Amino acid sequence: MHLGVLTRAPWLAWGRPVLARLWGMLMVLGLVSVLVFVLTRLAAGDPVALLLGDQASLQDIAQARARYGLDAPIVEQYLRWLGEVLQGHLGQSIFLQMPVHQVLLDRVEPTLSLALLAVGVAMLIGVPSGLAAAVWRGRWIDQWVSTLAMLGASMPSFWMGLLLIQLLAVGLGWFPVSGYGAPDASWAQRLHHLLLPALVLGMLNSALITRFTRAAMLDILGEDYIRTARAKGLPEVRVILLHALRNALVPILTVLGLTLALMIGGAVVTETVFNLPGLGNLVVRAVLRRDYPVIQGALLAIAGVYVLINGVIDLLYLWVDPRVRHG
Amino acid sequence: MAEPQRWWRHLLARRMVLVAAILLGLLLLLTLVGPWFLPDPMALKVSQRLKPPSWAYLAGTDELGHDMASRLVLGARYSLAIGASTAVLAVLAGTVLGLLAGFFRRLDGPLMRLVDAMMAFPDILLGIALVAILGASPVNVVLALSLVYTPRVARVVRACALVIRSLPYVEAARAVGVRSPRLLRVHVLPNLMSPILVQLSFVFAYALLAEAGLSFLGVGVGADVPTWGTMVAASTPYAERAVWMLFFPGLAIVLSAWSLQVLGDGVRDLLDPRLRGAP
C-alpha cells in the first residue's frame, strides 16, 4: 500500500471499491438475465407452435411470430424482454391467468417467513456448536460437532421432513401434517404450520454456520489481543464471549446472510414436502405445468435476490473492514 | 504428498475418516456381491406386500412385494453411478475452466462473472430448470447436475491456481521459458491433485443428494429407474403403513453422502494444517 491512500480524501478511498463492486454486481445480474432468458427459451421451444397447436398453417405461424416479435433476431428479442422486465412487466401466467409479478408476490410471504425462521434455527444450532468446537479444538466435542454437522449436510431434506411428519405430526399430533392453514389463519396458526419445516430446513443448513463460526473463532483466538486479555487475568468466559465472539460477529453475520439468501430459493424441496405455498413450490408446479412465464419470473427473482443480498454483504464488508477497502 | 502410503496413514489416523472409509468400502462390497446372496430384486410376491423387516426380508418389502434389501443394492448401482459420473464430469470441466481463469488474465473476469451468475441459482432450482429442458432421464440428470456443480469446482481450482502461479518455482519455470501447456501439466496439475480430490468427493455427495431431490420432485431420472431417490419418492403414499420403505433408501443416501463428505473433509484438513484438530 502506498502512502497516497492515507492522505487522499475519504470519499475517494470509498468511491472506487464501491463502484467496482456495484459494476460487478450489475454484470452478474445481466448475465443472470441472459441465463434465465436462454434457459426458458430452450425449455419452451417455439411458443407460437405451442400456442397454435399442430393444426395451424405455415402462414398462421408466420403471422403469429411476427405479431409476438419472434421473427426478430434473438438478441433483439432478449433486449425487448429485458426492457419489459426492467419496467416490472414479467408477463402473464399461462396456467393461473394472472400477471406473473402478482403470482410471485403472493408467494413471497410463506417463503420469507420460512427462511427467516429456518435461519433462526440454524443460528441457534450453528453458532454455539461452532463456538464450542473452536474453544475445545481437537477434543471429542470438536470431532462430534463436525461429525454431526456433516451428518446434517448429508440428509435429504425430504427424507428428514417425511420422517418427522410421520413421527411428530401423524404420530404424536404436535404439528399439522402439511400446508399453510386456512387463508384467514392467524399468525400463531401460520407459525404452527411453519415450525416443523423450519426445524428441518434449519437443522440441515446449520453446517455452514458451524464451520464459519469455528473458523472465525479459531482465527481470533490466535490474535495478540486475546493473549493480552488472558494475560491481564480476565476469566476465560469473558475472554471468549466478550472479546472473541464480538470480533467474530462480522463473519457470523455474513454467513447468516448467505444462508438466508440460499434458503429463499433453495427451500424448493422442503416447501414441496410440507406443501407450503412458497416460491420454490411455485417453480416446481410451474415446471410440471410448463408455465414458462412463471418459471422465467421466479428464476429471475430468486437469482436476483441472491445476487443483491451477496452484493449488500460485500458492501457491508467494505464498510466494516478497512483492510478490504484499501487492499 | 510424495509418499502415498504416509499420506493414507495420516488420513486414516482420524477416527471419523476411518469410519467413513470402512462404510464406503462396505457399501461397494455390498453393491458388488449383494446380488449373489440376496433375492432377485425384480421378483414380485403379491402375498408378501408391505412386510416389515424380518430375517427373510432384511429391509422389509415394498407395495409390490419386492425385497427392499435387494432393491437397495440395485439402487446403489444407479445412485452411485449417477453421483460418480456427475462428480467426474463436473470436476473435469471445472478444472479446465478454473485453470483457464487462473492462468490467463484476460479470461479471468468474464469466466468468473459467469461462475457468479450460475451460482446465483440454488443448486436444486438450476437442476430442475436444466432437467426440464433436457428431459427426465439418468443421462440428462448427470448432464444437468454436472453443469450445476462445474462453477463450484471452477472457483476452487481458480483460487488454487492463483496461489500456485505465484510460487517461486513456477515463476522460475516460466522465466526459463517453459511453455504454458507443459507448465500446467508438469508443475501445476500435480499440485492441484489434493483440492481436486476434495471436490470430487464433495460433488459426489452433493450429486447423490441432488439426484434424490430431483427424483422426489418428479423432474429426475424417471420413476422407472430404481435409484435411492426414486425409492424414497415412491414410498410417500405408504409412509404411514410401511415406514421402512421410506427409512432405508434415505439411510443409504445419508450414510454414503456422509462418508464421502467426511473423506473429503479429511483430505482438506491434511492440506490446510491450520484447520486440523490436535492429533
pLDDT of residue B174: 82
pTM score: 0.86
Give the up-direction half-sphere exposure of residue B206: CA atoms within 13 A in the CB hemisphere: 25
CA distance B276 to chain A (A): 8
pLDDT of residue A53: 66
Residue of A nearest to B260 (CA): A154
DSSP B236: G
Cell digits of residue A246: 464480538
The whole-angstrom separation of Cα B54 and Cα B61 is 10
Q: What percent of chain A has pLDDT over 70?
A: 88
pLDDT in tens, A13-50: 667 778 888 888 899 999 999 999 888 877 766 666 66
pLDDT of residue A92: 78
Nearest by CB to B278, which of A138, A159, A283?
Answer: A138
Cell digits of residue A210: 458451524
pLDDT of residue B277: 41
Residue of A nearest to B116 (CA): A28
Least confident of A196-205, A295-304, B46-55: B46-55
Place of cell 420460512: A114
pLDDT of residue A223: 80
Q: CB pairs below 8 Å between A and B: how many?
A: 152
A43 and chain B: CB distance < 8 Å anywhere? Answer: yes
Spatial contact of B271 and B156, defined as CB atoms under 8 Å apart: no
Spatial contact of B217 and A286, defined as CB atoms under 8 Å apart: no
State whether B216 and A269 contact (CB < 8 Å): yes
Q: What percent of chain A has pLDDT over 90?
A: 12
Nearest by CB to B258, which of A31, A154, A159?
Answer: A154
Nearest by CB to B133, which of A43, A150, A163?
Answer: A43
**Count of other CB atoms within 10 angstroms of residue A156:** 27
CA distance A135 to chain B (A): 11
What residues in B contact A143, CB-CB < 8 Å?
14-16, 277
Choose among B180, B201, B198: nearest CA to B100: B180
A156 and chain B: CB distance < 8 Å anywhere? Answer: yes
* B244 pLDDT above the threshold of 70: yes
Q: What is the mean pLDDT of chain A?
A: 82
State whether B114 and A31 contact (CB < 8 Å): yes
* A4 pLDDT above the threshold of 60: no
Among A136, A148, A158, A214, most B C-beta atoms within 10 A, so best to mutate, is A158
Spatial contact of B24 and B263, defined as CB atoms under 8 Å apart: yes
* A2 pLDDT above the threshold of 70: no
- The residue-averaged pLDDT of B160-182 equals 84
pLDDT of residue A69: 67
Residue of B nearest to A145 (CA): B16
- The residue-averaged pLDDT of A180-205 equals 82
- Crossing angle of helices A245-266 and A100-135, rounded to 10°: 140
Report all structural domains of chain B as residue ranges with CATH numbers, in order of start: 13-36+59-271 (1.10.3720.10)
Cell digits of residue A104: 410471485
A216 and chain B: CB distance < 8 Å anywhere? Answer: no
pLDDT in tens, B73-99: 888 888 999 999 999 999 999 999 999
Enumerate residues 71 to 130 of chain A having a beta carbon within 8 A of any beta carbon in chain B. Answer: none
Residue of A nearest to B210 (CA): A156
State whether A162 and B239 contact (CB < 8 Å): yes
3-class secondary-structure state, position B191 = helix
Q: What percent of chain B has pLDDT over 70?
A: 84
Burial of A309 (0-12, 13-18, 19+ CB in 10 A): middle
The 10 Å CB-count burial string (b at 16+, else e) for B53-89 is: eeeebbbbbbeebbbbbbbbbbbbebbbebbbbbbeb
B224 and chain A: CB distance < 8 Å anywhere? Answer: no
Q: What is the mean pLDDT of chain B?
A: 83
pLDDT of residue B98: 93
Place of cell 443472470: A32
What are the DSSP calls for B239-250, one per residue?
A: TTT-HHHHHHHH
Q: Give, rounded to a whole angstrom, the gap between the first and last alpha carbons of chain A.
A: 8
Residues contacting A171, CB < 8 A, separation 6+: none
Residues contacting B146, CB < 8 A, separation 6+: B85, B86, B89, B90, B93
pLDDT in tens, A42-93: 776 666 666 666 677 777 777 777 766 667 778 888 888 888 888 888 887 7
Name the region of A321 (left: φ>0; alpha: ψ -120 to 50; beta: rest): beta
pLDDT of residue B59: 66
Residue of B nearest to A42 (CA): B133
**Count of other CB atoms within 10 angstroms of residue A302:** 25
Burial of A106 (0-12, 13-18, 19+ CB in 10 A): middle
- The residue-averaged pLDDT of A139-157 equals 87
State whether A306 and B122 contact (CB < 8 Å): yes
- The residue-averaged pLDDT of A92-115 equals 85
Burial of A205 (0-12, 13-18, 19+ CB in 10 A): buried
- Name the pLDDT band for B274 (thresholds 50, 70, 90): very low
Cell digits of residue A232: 491481564
State whether B254 and A151 contact (CB < 8 Å): yes
**Count of other CB atoms within 10 angstroms of residue B172:** 11
B114 and chain A: CB distance < 8 Å anywhere? Answer: yes
- Name the pLDDT band for A314 (thresholds 50, 70, 90): confident
Least confident of A34-48, A87-101, A173-187, B195-209: A173-187
Residues contacting A224, CB < 8 A, separation 6+: none
- The residue-averaged pLDDT of A268-297 equals 86
State the ipTM, two decimals: 0.83
Higher pLDDT, A233 or B140: B140
pLDDT of residue B205: 94
pLDDT of residue A49: 66
- The residue-averaged pLDDT of B241-257 equals 86
pLDDT of residue B68: 73
What residues in B contact A135, CB-CB < 8 Å?
none
The whole-angstrom separation of Cα B73 and Cα B68 is 9
The whole-angstrom separation of Cα A209 and Cα A263 is 13
pLDDT of residue B279: 30
pLDDT of residue A1: 43
The 10 Å CB-count burial string (b at 16+, else e) for A38-49 is: ebbbebbeebbe
pLDDT of residue B83: 93
pLDDT of residue B46: 67
**Count of other CB atoms within 10 angstroms of residue A297:** 26
Least confident of A48-52, A244-248, B185-189, B210-214: A48-52
Phi, psi at residue A21, to the nearest 5°?
Answer: -70, -40
Residue of A nearest to B249 (CA): A159
Place of cell 492515507: A6
State whether B120 and A32 contact (CB < 8 Å): yes
pLDDT of residue A68: 65
Least confident of A163-172, A178-187, B171-180, B269-278: B269-278
Enumerate residues 217 to 276 of chain A having a beta carbon within 8 A of any beta carbon in chain B. Answer: 218, 262, 265-266, 268-269, 272
Phi, psi at residue A142, to the nearest 5°?
Answer: -60, -45
State whether B122 and A265 contact (CB < 8 Å): yes
B132 and chain A: CB distance < 8 Å anywhere? Answer: yes
3-state helix, strand, coil in chain A (%, to 5): 80, 0, 20
pLDDT of residue A119: 94
Among B133, B215, B246, most A C-beta atoms within 10 A, so best to mutate, is B133
- Name the pLDDT band for B276 (thresholds 50, 70, 90): very low
Nearest by CB to A156, which of B132, B212, B279?
Answer: B212
DSSP B40: P
- Name the pLDDT band for A201 (thresholds 50, 70, 90): very high
Cell digits of residue A256: 447468516
B278 and chain A: CB distance < 8 Å anywhere? Answer: yes
State whether A269 and B122 contact (CB < 8 Å): no
pLDDT of residue B201: 93
* B254 pLDDT above the threshold of 90: yes
Cell digits of residue A101: 409479478
pLDDT of residue B204: 95
What residues in B contact A32, CB-CB < 8 Å?
117, 120-121
State whether B243 and A166 contact (CB < 8 Å): yes
State whether A268 and B124 contact (CB < 8 Å): yes
What residues in B contact A150, CB-CB < 8 Å?
258, 261-262, 265
3-class secondary-structure state, position B67 = strand
